[in-house]
Chain A
Amino acid sequence: MIRVVNLHKSFGHLHVLRGVNFSVAPSEVVCVIGPSGSGKSTLLRCINQLEKADSGHIYIDNEELTHPKTDINKIRQQVGMVFQLFNLFPHKTTLENITLAPIKIKGVDKAAAEELAMELLRKVGLTDKAHVYPNKLSGGQKQRVAIARALAMQPKVMLFDEPTSALDPEMVGEVLAVMQDLAVEGMTMVVVTHEMGFAREVGDRVVFMDEGVIMEEGTPEEIFNNPRNPRTRSFLSKVL
């Protein structure tokens, strides 16, 4: 589904991604863990081209994103992204946040888009907030709306960049529950997270990143119970 080959990315002199190789199978849930500054966000942002990689190749469904002829807007419609700080559109209601892209770029008619949006709001448990503006929502509710907004484009893959890091502890659970439902339904997901419980329970595979490379990857049992790389061990001893 996603294949990343020898990806490099620098910001000025800072070499952030130093040859990342990684792939995700359809319906797989991959959790990316690692210390702050290790390049996790940069990797996700390269996958939907919010950052341009310096070298290397990225394929989604065998289509090469990094090829200059690829229509990046088309690809992005198939890749949903959920941000740490939600990034809801403050001038639009919940419902409008969700229907904007389907109506304006896919040309879905308004009634059909709203019907799908209501269905998604039911899924994330927020039908009663359809006509409310984002400033009236709690952090957890915002993030659930952001997930519904991304799902409204009916993406093949969902990328999550620390979706619960900006939330008060009591709201983390509601967002993780929505993500778990998605995983159970068979959505292909890449989740950058510090929620080790989620990675262990929901992840099919855990990837440990440090200093711009993937140091170790394996099943949650392998990574959490028998980490081979000393870096992984030291990181886990600090966070668990």
Chain B
Amino acid sequence: MPGLELFGLGFLDSITSQYGYRVVTNNIGYFLGGAWYTVFITAISLAIGMVLGLFAGLGKLTSNKFLYYLSTAYIDFFRGTPLFVQIFLLYFGVLPMIYDNDPVSSAIIALGLNSGAYIGEIVRAGIQAVDVGQMEAARSLGMNHRQAMTYVILPQAFKIVIPPLINEFIALLKDSSLVSAISVAELMHRGDLVFANTYQAWVFGAVAVIYFIMTKTISVIGDHVERRLATD
């Protein structure tokens, strides 16, 4: 396609070139390995984020001033600065002071801390969405605060929190592509490498499709869980 060069988009020619797609078929195993890496990093980060998020969310609701300010500062920082910056700051700045850090563990820590902040807000909102009358009814029956939380509030908050949590899983999986910048060999990074060698934009089409299959899988499972919980 003449003229595209003018905009620096000459590489798009490769899409129309006859055998450009072969770069995908030739590297499909390599990409799927990267996708597996993406799932692995996302899953561990998510586990960390869930634990941090539960504590941060409860921390925002406690009457303990110290825990409240700690949770607020944590959530504000990680929601208020770009994840891309957080990844670099942790990888090059903070973590080297703590241990001999490598890209993969640094990526997991950055993604875990970041998702923990978002999940913290989800947890807080979910608990607050439970009607105050529920806590009062539980307390009036003689339950202490912890019993009322465990048997009455949290089970109801859990249902409320499922849809935004699914959204957060999906966002985290997509955001994990940013750790390609510190050369973690996940899907996006592998796409980048192959593209740098071939200049075939087919690569990114394939990468996009693989991400889409992964996020779609999460949302289908999420819808299923939501429907199961809604029946009772």
Residue of A nearest to B152 (CB): A89
A contact residues vs B (CB 8 Å cutoff): 48, 50, 73-74, 76-77, 79-81, 83, 85, 87-91, 100-101, 104-105, 133, 146, 149-150, 153
Q: Return chain A residues, CB-CB under 8 Å to B232.
A: 91, 133
- The smallest beta-carbon distance between A49 and chain B, in angstroms, is 8
- The reply to whether A87 and B141 contact each other, CB–CB distance below 8 Å, is no
Determine if B142 is an interface residue (Cβ-Cβ < 8 Å): yes
Extra contacts, 13 of them, besides A87-B134, A91-B155 (Cβ < 8 A), are: A50-B140, A81-B140, A83-B136, A87-B131, A87-B136, A89-B152, A91-B159, A100-B151, A100-B152, A101-B141, A101-B143, A105-B143, A153-B142
Binary interface encoding of chain B residues 119-133 relative to chain A, with 1 for a CB under 8 A from any of its CBs, else 0: 000000000000101
Q: Return chain B residues, CB-CB under 8 Å to A50.
A: 136, 139-140
Given contacts A91-B155, A91-B232, A133-B232, contact A76 B142 (CB under 8 A): yes
Q: Report the Cα distance A7→B46, complex, angstroms.
A: 51
Select which of B131, B134, B136, B142 is within 8 A of A101 by beta carbon: B142
11 contacts between A and B (CB under 8 A): A48-B140, A76-B141, A85-B133, A87-B134, A87-B136, A89-B137, A101-B138, A105-B141, A105-B143, A133-B232, A150-B141
Determine if B101 is an interface residue (Cβ-Cβ < 8 Å): no
Query: How large, as a class, is the contact surface on chain B?
Result: 10 to 19
Q: Return chain A residues, CB-CB under 8 Å to B159.
A: 91
- The reply to whether A89 and B134 contact each other, CB–CB distance below 8 Å, is yes
Residue of A nearest to B158 (CB): A91
- The smallest beta-carbon distance between B141 and chain A, in angstroms, is 4
Select which of B143, B152, B155 is within 8 A of A73 by beta carbon: B143
Determine if B167 is an interface residue (Cβ-Cβ < 8 Å): no
Q: Return chain A residues, CB-CB under 8 Å to B138.
A: 89, 101
- The smallest beta-carbon distance between B217 and chain A, in angstroms, is 28
Q: Report the Cα distance A100→B138, complex, angstroms.
A: 10
Q: Report the Cα distance A81→B136, complex, angstroms.
A: 10
Q: Return chain B residues, CB-CB under 8 Å to A104.
A: 143, 147, 151
- The smallest beta-carbon distance between A144 and chain B, in angstroms, is 15
Determine if B144 is an interface residue (Cβ-Cβ < 8 Å): yes
Q: Report the Cα distance A87→B134, complex, angstroms.
A: 6
- The reply to whether A87 and B137 contact each other, CB–CB distance below 8 Å, is yes
Determine if B156 is an interface residue (Cβ-Cβ < 8 Å): yes
Q: Return chain A residues, CB-CB under 8 Å to B147.
A: 104-105
Q: Return chain B residues, CB-CB under 8 Å to A83.
A: 133, 136-137
- The smallest beta-carbon distance between A86 and chain B, in angstroms, is 8
- The reply to whether B151 and A87 contact each other, CB–CB distance below 8 Å, is no
Q: Report the Cα distance A149→B133, complex, angstroms.
A: 15
- The reply to whether A91 and B156 contact each other, CB–CB distance below 8 Å, is yes
Q: Report the Cα distance A146→B137, complex, angstroms.
A: 9
The 3 closest A-B pairs by CB, nearest first: A77-B142, A87-B137, A81-B140
Q: Report the Cα distance A76→B131, complex, angstroms.
A: 20
Q: Return chain A residues, CB-CB under 8 Å to B143.
A: 73, 101, 104-105
